[in-house]
């Protein structure tokens, strides 16, 4: 059993790496565990252009964070799946993994987010994957997911990854809505989706769409836009964004051969007789993200349901501490936001833990407060707004004033 550390960080994504770095710099012995084959988490797949024109290259950003953590003395182990954790009698933690047990007085859960699905007939066929799967295959593994694909679902994550797939030269036939059913909620409602388009307007380099998004901020113009919205869609990165069309079924015998789609009314109901077959050899299901917090639940941490943050989040303070002694959280497990926010939160968590552990070079309270302010600042400047009310719901969770 590995007992030789002060802090175990679960998840070597942006939050975990940043936390490991700041905690190790403060003098703690830090061990980072991740089940993927290389550190970086979902940051690895990210690739987009900043408003100033510079590229946010997730692979490079991850390398810098890994280097920072290692230089500070943190140890990173990959291929380790944490399967459970339990509080020990001496107020520490035992972690069960597929590589044996680990012990540590402090644990930081930085397990990120998982993708939600929008199930439809045929979605178990080979060639159907979550949109995040296509991102990893394309940008991290550098393998083509197929010849021509259809994306089902329109949300921030989908738009970001569609841009990345296009950049890699992957052909996409269309982005369509998921079919309306007991599970789809507002994701199959053209008006609700159109409203959310405003939030990712800055991601779309297409000037028309940006211009359109400004207009769409009023509900009256939104209604007009919806009625006039062309059935063949508006092109984004050369891909038709078909707000008035939904997928009905994914078709194929042994693998994806295409998608049956239908036109929908402005309210999202399929129009009888409008069905058509769209040829494709892969399909990406884009259902959005939810905080992956199962280990926090196992640890006995209480939860709050906060839709703005993506679902159930472990209760935590602005300093990233949970009500469970020795248990901290950072990154998307606390609510779905961009990688930059996760990095800033990770830094707060690392400093908070070092403070609590009275580490050799522990920060003072002012330093932690500064790091907390930095999280808010980065949240405000974020290019990708996963939800318009993140700041307000965070403030409510932390019972603090919003700026």
Radius of gyration of the chain (CA): 22
Among 75, 133, 382, 391, interactor with another protein by CB under 8 A: 133
| Smallest distance from another protein to CB 168, Å | 5
- Smallest distance from the beta carbon of 245 to another protein, in angstroms? 15
Binding characters for another protein, 141-160, by CB under 8 A (x = yes)? xxxxxxx-------------
In a 3-state reduction of DSSP, which class is residue 252? coil
CA 402 to chain centre: 23
Site for another protein in 63-82 (CB under 8 A): 79, 81-82
Tokens of 113: 């987010």
Supply the minimum distance, in Å, between the C-beta of residue 96 and another protein. Answer: 5
Q: Which of 8, 11, 17, 42 is close enough to bind another protein by CB under 8 A? A: 42
Binding of another protein by 88 (CB under 8 A): no
Label each residue of 51-91 as H, E or C: CCCCEEEHHHHHHHHHHHHHHCCCEEEECCCEEEEEECCCC
Q: Report if residue 54 touches another protein, rule: CB under 8 A.
A: no
Closest CA to 18 of 273, 374, 394: 374
CA–CA separation, 378 vs 48, rounded Å?
Answer: 17
Q: Two tokens at 74?
A: 């943190």
Q: How far, in Å, CA of 219 to CA of 216, rounded?
A: 7
The site string for another protein over 283-322 (x = CB under 8 A, - otherwise) reads: -------x-x-xx-xx---xxxxxx---xx--x-------
Q: Compute how many other C-beta atoms are within 10 angstroms of the C-beta atom of residue 380.
A: 12
Residue 130 CB, nearest approach to another protein (Å)? 5
The pairing of beta strand 47-49 with beta strand 55-57? antiparallel
In the list 51, 52, 53, 169, the residue contacting another protein (rule: CB under 8 A) is: 169
Closer of 128 and 162 to another protein (Cβ): 128
Q: Which position among 192, 208, 215, 255 is part of the footprint of another protein (CB under 8 A)? A: 255
Would you count residue 138 as binding another protein (CB under 8 A)? yes
* 51 is a contact residue toward another protein (CB under 8 A): no
């Amino acid at each position: 059993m590995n007992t030789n550390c002060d802090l175990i960080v679960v998840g070597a994504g942006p939050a975990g790496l940043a936390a490991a770095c700041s905690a190790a710099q403060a003098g703690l012995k830090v061990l980072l565990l991740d089940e993927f084959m290389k550190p970086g988490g979902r940051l690895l797949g990210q690739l987009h252009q900043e408003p100033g024109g510079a590229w946010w290259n997730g692979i490079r950003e991850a390398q810098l964070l890994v280097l920072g953590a290692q230089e500070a003395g943190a140890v990173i182990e990959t291929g380790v799946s944490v399967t459970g954790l339990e509080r020990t009698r001496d107020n520490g933690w035992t972690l069960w993994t597929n590589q044996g047990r680990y012990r540590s007085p402090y644990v930081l859960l930085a397990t990120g987010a998982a993708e939600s699905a929008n199930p439809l007939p045929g979605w178990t066929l080979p060639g159907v994957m979550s949109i995040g799967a296509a991102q990893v295959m394309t940008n991290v593994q550098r393998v083509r997911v197929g010849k021509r694909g259809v994306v089902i679902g329109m949300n921030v994550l989908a738009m970001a990854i569609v841009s990345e797939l296009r950049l890699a030269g992957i052909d996409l036939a269309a982005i369509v809505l998921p079919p309306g059913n007991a599970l789809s909620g507002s994701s199959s409602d053209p008006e609700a989706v159109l409203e959310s388009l405003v939030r990712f307007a800055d991601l779309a380099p297409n000037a028309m769409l940006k211009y359109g998004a400004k207009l769409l901020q009023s509900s009256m113009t939104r209604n007009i836009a919806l009625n006039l919205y062309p059935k063949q869609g508006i092109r984004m990165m050369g891909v038709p964004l078909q707000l008035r069309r939904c997928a009905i079924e994914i078709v194929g015998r042994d693998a994806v051969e295409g998608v049956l789609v239908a036109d929908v009314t402005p309210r999202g109901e399929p129009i009888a007789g409008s069905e058509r077959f769209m040829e494709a050899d892969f399909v990406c299901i884009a259902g959005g993200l939810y905080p992956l917090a199962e280990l926090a639940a196992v640890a006995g941490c209480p939860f709050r349901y906060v839709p703005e943050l993506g679902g159930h989040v472990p209760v935590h303070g602005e300093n990233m501490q949970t009500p469970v002694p020795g248990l901290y959280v950072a990154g998307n497990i606390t609510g779905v936001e961009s990688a930059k926010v996760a990095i800033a939160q990770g830094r707060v968590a690392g400093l908070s833990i070092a403070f609590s552990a009275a580490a050799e070079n522990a920060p003072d309270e002012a330093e932690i407060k500064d790091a907390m302010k930095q999280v808010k600042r980065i949240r405000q400047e974020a290019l990708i707004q996963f939800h318009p009310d993140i700041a307000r719901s965070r403030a409510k969770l932390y019972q603090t004033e919003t700026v």
